[in-house]
Protein backbone atom coordinates (compact mmCIF):
# COMPACT_ATOMS: atom_id res chain seq x y z
CA UNK A 1 0.00 0.00 0.00
CA UNK A 2 1.43 3.37 -0.98
CA UNK A 3 2.40 5.87 1.71
CA UNK A 4 1.62 9.53 0.99
CA UNK A 5 2.91 12.46 3.00
CA UNK A 6 2.70 16.21 2.73
CA UNK A 7 4.47 19.07 4.46
CA UNK A 8 4.56 22.82 4.03
CA UNK A 9 7.04 22.72 1.16
CA UNK A 10 6.88 19.23 -0.34
CA UNK A 11 4.50 16.32 -0.84
CA UNK A 12 5.49 12.80 -1.73
CA UNK A 13 4.48 9.20 -2.15
CA UNK A 14 6.50 6.14 -1.21
CA UNK A 15 5.89 3.15 -3.51
CA UNK A 16 3.10 4.83 -5.52
CA UNK A 17 2.39 1.65 -7.53
CA UNK A 18 2.53 -0.74 -4.56
CA UNK A 19 5.35 -2.52 -6.38
CA UNK A 20 6.92 -3.75 -3.12
CA UNK A 21 3.90 -4.73 -0.96
CA UNK A 22 5.98 -6.91 1.39
CA UNK A 23 8.53 -4.22 2.26
CA UNK A 24 7.63 -1.63 4.87
CA UNK A 25 7.76 2.03 3.89
CA UNK A 26 10.54 2.90 6.31
CA UNK A 27 12.83 0.38 4.61
CA UNK A 28 11.82 1.65 1.17
CA UNK A 29 12.61 5.21 2.28
CA UNK A 30 16.02 4.03 3.50
CA UNK A 31 16.72 2.75 -0.04
CA UNK A 32 16.58 6.36 -1.24
CA UNK A 33 19.54 7.57 0.86
CA UNK A 34 20.13 11.33 1.10
CA UNK A 35 18.39 12.32 -2.13
CA UNK A 36 14.90 13.07 -0.75
CA UNK A 37 16.45 15.12 2.07
CA UNK A 38 18.43 17.16 -0.47
CA UNK A 39 15.28 17.69 -2.54
CA UNK A 40 13.39 18.82 0.56
CA UNK A 41 16.24 21.25 1.29
CA UNK A 42 15.85 22.60 -2.24
CA UNK A 43 12.13 23.08 -1.66
CA UNK A 44 12.94 25.29 1.34
CA UNK A 45 15.83 27.15 -0.30
CA UNK A 46 15.42 27.09 -4.09
CA UNK A 47 18.61 28.21 -5.80
CA UNK A 48 16.80 30.84 -7.86
CA UNK A 49 19.09 33.69 -6.79
CA UNK A 50 21.96 31.96 -8.60
CA UNK A 51 19.83 31.20 -11.64
CA UNK A 52 19.80 27.47 -10.99
CA UNK A 53 16.96 25.04 -10.59
CA UNK A 54 16.51 21.70 -8.90
CA UNK A 55 19.10 19.96 -11.12
CA UNK A 56 21.77 22.53 -10.29
CA UNK A 57 20.94 22.35 -6.58
CA UNK A 58 21.14 18.54 -6.56
CA UNK A 59 24.39 18.64 -8.56
CA UNK A 60 25.96 20.90 -5.92
CA UNK A 61 24.66 18.73 -3.06
CA UNK A 62 25.94 15.53 -4.73
CA UNK A 63 29.34 16.95 -5.61
CA UNK A 64 30.34 14.31 -8.18
CA UNK A 65 28.72 15.80 -11.27
CA UNK A 66 25.46 14.76 -12.86
CA UNK A 67 25.60 13.04 -16.23
CA UNK A 68 22.40 12.77 -18.22
CA UNK A 69 21.27 9.25 -19.06
CA UNK A 70 19.85 9.32 -22.56
CA UNK A 71 17.64 6.81 -24.33
CA UNK A 72 15.18 6.29 -21.49
CA UNK A 73 11.90 7.96 -20.73
CA UNK A 74 9.49 8.64 -17.87
CA UNK A 75 5.83 7.74 -18.35
CA UNK A 76 2.91 9.79 -17.03
CA UNK A 77 2.76 7.22 -14.19
CA UNK A 78 6.42 7.95 -13.26
CA UNK A 79 7.67 4.60 -14.56
CA UNK A 80 11.16 4.65 -16.05
CA UNK A 81 11.37 2.86 -19.39
CA UNK A 82 14.49 2.02 -21.35
CA UNK A 83 14.56 -0.10 -24.52
CA UNK A 84 15.04 -3.82 -23.82
CA UNK A 85 15.07 -3.29 -20.02
CA UNK A 86 12.20 -4.09 -17.66
CA UNK A 87 10.13 -1.15 -16.47
CA UNK A 88 11.37 0.48 -13.26
CA UNK A 89 8.73 1.49 -10.73
CA UNK A 90 9.37 4.51 -8.50
CA UNK A 91 10.45 4.04 -4.92
CA UNK A 92 9.45 7.62 -4.17
CA UNK A 93 7.98 10.62 -5.95
CA UNK A 94 8.33 14.15 -4.60
CA UNK A 95 6.88 17.50 -5.62
CA UNK A 96 7.79 20.86 -4.07
CA UNK A 97 5.27 23.66 -3.71
CA UNK A 98 7.31 25.58 -6.33
CA UNK A 99 6.39 22.83 -8.84
CA UNK A 100 9.79 21.10 -9.01
CA UNK A 101 9.64 17.30 -9.03
CA UNK A 102 11.87 14.33 -8.29
CA UNK A 103 11.40 10.61 -8.92
CA UNK A 104 13.74 7.92 -7.62
CA UNK A 105 13.94 4.33 -8.80
CA UNK A 106 16.20 1.42 -7.89
CA UNK A 107 19.93 1.44 -8.68
CA UNK A 108 20.25 5.16 -7.91
CA UNK A 109 18.34 6.21 -11.02
CA UNK A 110 16.69 9.58 -10.40
CA UNK A 111 14.93 12.24 -12.47
CA UNK A 112 14.35 15.94 -11.84
CA UNK A 113 12.41 18.70 -13.50
CA UNK A 114 11.49 22.25 -12.63
CA UNK A 115 7.95 23.56 -13.01
CA UNK A 116 9.00 25.39 -16.18
CA UNK A 117 10.30 22.23 -17.88
CA UNK A 118 8.45 19.52 -19.77
CA UNK A 119 11.34 17.05 -20.02
CA UNK A 120 12.87 15.08 -17.18
CA UNK A 121 16.63 15.13 -16.52
CA UNK A 122 17.47 11.48 -15.80
CA UNK A 123 20.74 10.58 -14.08
CA UNK A 124 22.29 8.12 -11.66
CA UNK A 125 23.25 9.23 -8.18
CA UNK A 126 24.73 6.39 -6.13
Give the model's pLDDT for residue 49: 53
| pLDDT tens-digit readout, 6-35 | 667 899 999 999 999 999 999 999 999 999
Give the model's pLDDT for residue 42: 86
Using CB atoms within 10 A of its CB, is residue 68 exposed (0-12), middle (13-18) or buried (19+)?
exposed
| pLDDT tens-digit readout, 32-89 | 999 999 998 888 776 555 667 899 989 999 999 999 999 999 999 999 999 999 999 9
Rounded CA-CA distance 93/48 in Å is 22
- The whole-model pTM stands at 0.90
Q: Which sequence spans correspond to the domains of the chain?
A: 3-124
Neighbour tally for 67: CB within 10 Å: 9
Amino acid sequence: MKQAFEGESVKGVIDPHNHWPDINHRELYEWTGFLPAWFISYSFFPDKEEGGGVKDFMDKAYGFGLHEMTGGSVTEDDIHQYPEDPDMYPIITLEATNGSQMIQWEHGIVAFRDSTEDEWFITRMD
